[in-house]
Amino acid sequence: MLNFLFIIGLVTCEPNFVDFIKKFDKTYDNEELSYRFKVFEDNLGAIRSLNEEAIANGGEAVYGVTKFSDLTTEEFNGMYTGFVKSDIEVPEVSFINVTADDVDWREKQAITPIKNQGSCGSCWAFSAVESIESDAFLFGKYSLYELGPQQVVSCDKGSNGCNGGDPATAFKYVASNGMEKESDYPYTAKDGSCKFNAAKVAVKITGQGKVSGGEAGVLKGLQVRPLSVCHNTGGWQHYSGGVMTSCSSGGGHCTQMVGYASSGDYWIVKNSWGTSWGNSGYLYLKKGSNLCGIANHVLYPTF
């Protein structure tokens, strides 16, 4: 049972934490409750500072209370990110004869629904699998299947499952084995033993490519297909909507870039933290200064 006087204090002094507990269905024992309340208060201070910085830089307030507001930065990065760069050398490609323009692959029905990696550092697998889903539909003469990130988490030994990895190893693994659907290999948010069934392969790829040329190159590549991107996540823990105009280092993470809007000059990034985070699961990131290192590690599968 939670300490009655402590709860009364929360209701009286900090109703935001009570609202947070209710909204995100949080449960704590007595000892953890006081600790999480302190972390939550610290995060409120961080959120205020981030919004002040954004406004001072000519942007808007885009940070607020999220489902991660009871976690320290270290806890958050350890549980919900997971990019660990491999030593795989991926052939670089420049999209020279491509005209850069606005693009949103959601409008072309080439993007699957928002997923949730849970408290497992498997973002790298989700980023790769989501790019395979989209590109298989666009280039591989497949339907837009929802494929199984758990297969990559459990079976790709080039990365480390919930302890992090690189989409490059995922693409290499899938090129050798193929991919099952999510319905045949459901996600568990745990490492687990490999249970791959070759008879249930739904999609095959031949390899991978890497986009070069910084943000200009990324915009050209994005005209052709959605992209797997890995980057920093400074501030992402508290992102609640709008266009992010600054980003600190730390928290290597991988996502899927699905669009660009010239009105506002921002990237449209599909995340894997569920629909309750950000813009219904998406983040809008200002283009122009390689915020978060968004153009540093950009891959795609080949067919």
- Active site positions, annotated: 123, 253, 271
**Could you tell me whether strands 282-286 and 243-244 are parallel, antiparallel, or unpaired per DSSP bridges?**
parallel
How far apart, in whole angstroms, are the C-alpha atoms of residue 230 and residue 255? 6
- In the chain, the amino acid numbered 281 is G
How far apart, in whole angstroms, are the C-alpha atoms of residue 22 and residue 1? 16
Q: What is the dihedral of CA 82, 120, 258, 139, to 10 degrees?
A: 100
Which segments within the chain are labelled E, that is strand?
Answer: 92-93, 103-104, 179-180, 201-203, 207-211, 227-231, 243-244, 253-261, 266-270, 282-286, 297-302
How far apart, in whole angstroms, are the C-alpha atoms of residue 112 and residue 92? 26
For residue 288, what are the CA distances in angstroms to 219, 250, 265?
Answer: 11, 20, 8
Would you say 294 and 218 are in contact if contact means Cβ atoms under 8 Å apart?
A: yes
